């Protein structure tokens, strides 16, 4: 009996030891796999069916896109495009020279101008497409030859690259023609990017596999990249500390210390180019009242919220953009973009607006942005204090996002990511027919945004942009709040420098 007990104990200890050893060994060997805890999800196999920052980044590294903004260089660099130029005589004409000999994953079919034209057509005509705003400046697109594409814009558009570079996902024409839209997205998601789509479980995970034959894919980049959807910040941090994930996106300020204390991870801060704002749609009452919209902007004490709710992990926005974003002029901002916390002025504006105290509902996502519910909860008493009968609503993200995109939400808190050159974002939200998200139609905003787009000289364009900023501030369809300091939790087994847009590319991750 004793002997059998001893034997059993021995077997158990060996099993435990073996499990522990191989368990750890598996983690240590997991150099080929990097899992990222992210907050967003991809809603469809169709790369054009949603317009979210993470989606563009994922599809861009699977299918490929024309180019990306290189935050190190501070300039646009080609991905599938080799070089590009604007016609000096006619600023509406852009010529893009494509890279030659770029082979598609699995079947090696070469990338050509036909694929670019097909992709633009699909964005325009696909019934599921939610990316039409990205090609809104384009009047015509044609192939000069197999490797050259000519784009003619409706009007000179200096910010065209911001519109199309990493936002027009290039999909294969031949596969689409052969299999049709539904079949091709689900069964043949093959492109010219450095990673292949291995698995997509909507709402749970996206698994990419490195295409080792791709020139941008280096041996030290992860073989498998898993975007695991973890909406809860606690979940992301715990998973990082337990070595279940290697990168945790968007750590809220109150959990920063927990990551810093962990022996296996570090905290990486990066200034974000995502602008956070309150949107008020003049399509709905009482937001058709300019004075009331302005009152909202004066009523919010952004510094207090940044200090106490965001624990100083954000920078206040005076105007639509801040330092590091294209067109930011500190002098002009200081002199002209002057909306500051002024409850007395807000109260006067509310009184002058003739607002009849009907309830207004501020809608916010929960868990989509850092401390989003808390910051909006802090805003409500500030609005109440100046005489605006504001109440908070917290609809589920998918519902809120769908309603915002359709222009059905009168008053909401939201962020606009990847704002390097603000032209596109400002047009999308504040220009007539830019998108239904706010639905304002203001001649002065339209005029100033059009003016900045047609200005190609960088110095002049910056001036024109600042005039547009002022027009937007005066019309107050939105109140600009802050840019978060994005905190990333990074396992010590990987090297990665998060970029300001929050987009994660496998080719920018090195496994130690």
Among 177, 199, 257, 266, binds another protein (CB under 8 A): 257
Nearest CB to another protein, comparing residues 390 and 476: 390
> Which residue stretch of 105-113, 126-134, 254-262, 480-488 sits at the interface with another protein (rule: CB under 8 A)?
254-262
Closest approach of another protein to the CB of residue 303, in Å: 11
d(CA 69, CA 17): 49
Closest approach of another protein to the CB of residue 394, in Å: 5
- CB-CB contact of 227 with 213 (8 Å): no
Nearest CB to another protein, comparing residues 11 and 398: 398
Burial 29-55, CB ≥16 within 10 A → b, else e: ebeeebbbbbbbbbbebbbbbbbebbb
- Does 31 bind another protein (CB under 8 A)? Our answer is no
Site for another protein in 306-335 (CB under 8 A): 307-309
> Which residue stretch of 7-15, 350-358, 370-378, 475-483 sits at the interface with another protein (rule: CB under 8 A)?
370-378
Nearest CB to another protein, comparing residues 378 and 467: 378
| Cis-peptide, bond into residue 286, ω within 30° of zero | yes
Among 244, 315, 374, 508, binds another protein (CB under 8 A): 374
Among 5, 381, 459, 512, binds another protein (CB under 8 A): 381
- Does 132 bind another protein (CB under 8 A)? Our answer is no
Strand stretches in 338-477, DSSP E: 360-363, 390-393, 411-416
- Does 391 bind another protein (CB under 8 A)? Our answer is yes
Nearest CB to another protein, comparing residues 377 and 474: 377
Among 255, 299, 346, 445, binds another protein (CB under 8 A): 255
- Does 244 bind another protein (CB under 8 A)? Our answer is no
- Does 403 bind another protein (CB under 8 A)? Our answer is no
Nearest CB to another protein, comparing residues 68 and 414: 414
265 to 304: interface string for another protein, x by CB under 8 A: ---------------------------------------x
All residues at 6 or more sequence positions from 458 whose CB lies less than 8 Å from its CB, including other chains: none
> Which residue stretch of 64-72, 290-298, 393-401, 443-451 sits at the interface with another protein (rule: CB under 8 A)?
393-401
* Helices 443-453, 423-430: crossing angle, 10 deg rounding: 160
Q: What are the beta bridge partners of residue 363?
A: 393, 412
d(CA 294, CA 384): 15
d(CA 484, CA 272): 6
Q: Where are the alpha helices (DSSP H) in 45-201?
A: 53-62, 113-125, 160-164, 173-179, 181-187
- Does 394 bind another protein (CB under 8 A)? Our answer is yes
In angstroms, the Cα distances linking 161 to 54, 120, 134, 184, 252 are 19, 14, 10, 27, 32
All residues at 6 or more sequence positions from 434 whose CB lies less than 8 Å from its CB, including other chains: 133, 136, 427, 428
Which helix H or strand E contains 49, and what residues bound it?
Answer: none
d(CA 195, CA 210): 4
59 to 98: interface string for another protein, x by CB under 8 A: ----------------------------------------
In angstroms, the Cα distances linking 442 to 227, 320, 358, 461 are 40, 17, 25, 21
Closest approach of another protein to the CB of residue 323, in Å: 26
Among 238, 243, 271, 507, binds another protein (CB under 8 A): 238
- Does 33 bind another protein (CB under 8 A)? Our answer is no
How many amino acids of this chain bind another protein (CB under 8 A)?
Answer: 31
Closest approach of another protein to the CB of residue 415, in Å: 18
d(CA 412, CA 303): 20
- Does 402 bind another protein (CB under 8 A)? Our answer is no
- Does 370 bind another protein (CB under 8 A)? Our answer is no
Q: Strand 275-280 to strand 411-416: parallel, antiparallel, or no bridges (unpaired)? A: antiparallel
- CB-CB contact of 380 with 392 (8 Å): yes
Nearest CB to another protein, comparing residues 66 and 255: 255
- Does 507 bind another protein (CB under 8 A)? Our answer is no
Closest approach of another protein to the CB of residue 338, in Å: 24
Task: Report the helix count and the strand count for the chain, using DSSP H and E.
Answer: 17, 20
Task: For the chain, give percent helix, strand, coil, nearest 5.
Answer: 40, 20, 40
Which helix H or strand E contains 265, and what residues bound it?
Answer: strand 265-271
> Which residue stretch of 333-341, 367-375, 409-417, 496-504 sits at the interface with another protein (rule: CB under 8 A)?
367-375
Among 260, 399, 432, 433, binds another protein (CB under 8 A): 399
Whose CA is closest to 280, among 329, 353, 338, 334? 353
Nearest CB to another protein, comparing residues 280 and 370: 370
**Which DSSP category does 274 fall into?**
P
- Does 343 bind another protein (CB under 8 A)? Our answer is no
- Does 396 bind another protein (CB under 8 A)? Our answer is yes
In angstroms, the Cα distances linking 449 to 5, 193, 216, 271, 302 are 82, 34, 37, 26, 27
Among 91, 99, 103, 254, binds another protein (CB under 8 A): 254
Whose CA is closest to 148, among 66, 214, 229, 44? 66
Closest approach of another protein to the CB of residue 234, in Å: 6
Interface with another protein (CB under 8 A)? 232-234, 237-238, 252, 254-255, 257-258, 304-305, 307-309, 366-367, 371, 373-374, 377-378, 380-381, 391-396, 399
């Amino acid at each position: 009996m004793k002997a059998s007990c001893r034997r059993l104990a021995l077997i158990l200890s060996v099993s435990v030891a073996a499990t522990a050893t191989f368990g750890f060994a598996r983690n240590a060997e997991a150099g080929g796999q990097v899992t990222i805890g992210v907050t967003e999800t991809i809603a469809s196999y169709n790369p054009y069916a949603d317009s979210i920052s993470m989606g563009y980044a994922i599809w861009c590294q699977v299918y490929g896109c024309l180019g990306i903004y290189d935050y190190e260089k501070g300039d646009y660099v080609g991905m599938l495009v080799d070089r590009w130029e604007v016609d000096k005589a006619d600023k509406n004409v852009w010529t893009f020279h494509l890279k030659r000999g770029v082979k598609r994953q699995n079947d090696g079919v070469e990338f050509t101008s036909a694929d670019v034209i097909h992709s633009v057509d699909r964005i325009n005509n696909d019934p599921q497409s939610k990316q039409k705003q990205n090609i809104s400046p384009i009047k015509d697109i044609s192939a000069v030859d197999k490797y050259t594409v000519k784009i003619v814009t409706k009007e000179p558009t200096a910010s065209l690259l911001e519109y199309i570079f990493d936002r027009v996902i290039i999909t294969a024409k031949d596969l689409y023609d052969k299999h049709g839209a539904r079949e091709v997205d689900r069964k043949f998601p093959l492109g010219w990017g450095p990673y292949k789509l291995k698995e997509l479980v909507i709402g749970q995970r996206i698994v990419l596999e490195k295409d080792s034959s791709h020139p941008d894919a280096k041996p030290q980049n992860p073989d498998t990249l898993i975007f695991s959807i973890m909406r809860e910040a606690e979940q992301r941090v715990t998973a990082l500390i337990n070595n279940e994930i290697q990168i945790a996106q968007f750590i809220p300020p109150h959990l920063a210390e927990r990551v810093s204390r962990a022996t296996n991870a570090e905290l990486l801060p990066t200034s974000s180019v995502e602008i956070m704002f309150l949107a008020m749609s003049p399509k709905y009452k009482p937001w058709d009242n300019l004075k009331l919209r302005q009152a909202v902007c004066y009523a919010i004490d952004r510094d207090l919220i940044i200090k106490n709710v965001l624990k100083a992990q954000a920078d206040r926005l005076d105007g639509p953009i801040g330092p590091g974003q294209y067109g930011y002029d500190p002098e002009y901002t200081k002199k002209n973009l002057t909306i500051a916390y002024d409850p007395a002025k807000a109260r006067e504006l509310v009184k002058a607006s003739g607002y009849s105290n009907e309830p207004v509902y501020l809608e916010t996502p929960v868990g989509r942005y850092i401390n989003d519910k808390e910051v909006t909860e802090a805003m409500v008493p500030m609005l109440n204090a100046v005489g605006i009968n504001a109440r908070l609503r917290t609809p589920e993200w998918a519902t809120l996002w769908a309603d915002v995109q359709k222009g059905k939400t009168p008053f909401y808190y939201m962020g606009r990511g990847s704002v390097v050159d603000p032209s596109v974002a400002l047009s999308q939200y504040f220009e007539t027919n830019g998108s239904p998200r706010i639905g304002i139609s203001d001649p002065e905003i339209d005029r100033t945004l059009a003016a900045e787009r047609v200005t190609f000289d960088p110095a002049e364009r910056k001036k024109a942009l600042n005039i547009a900023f002022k027009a937007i501030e005066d019309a107050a369809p939105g109140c600009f709040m802050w840019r978060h300091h994005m905190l990333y939790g990074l396992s010590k087994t990987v090297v990665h420098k998060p970029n300001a847009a929050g987009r994660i590319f496998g080719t920018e991750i090195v496994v130690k």
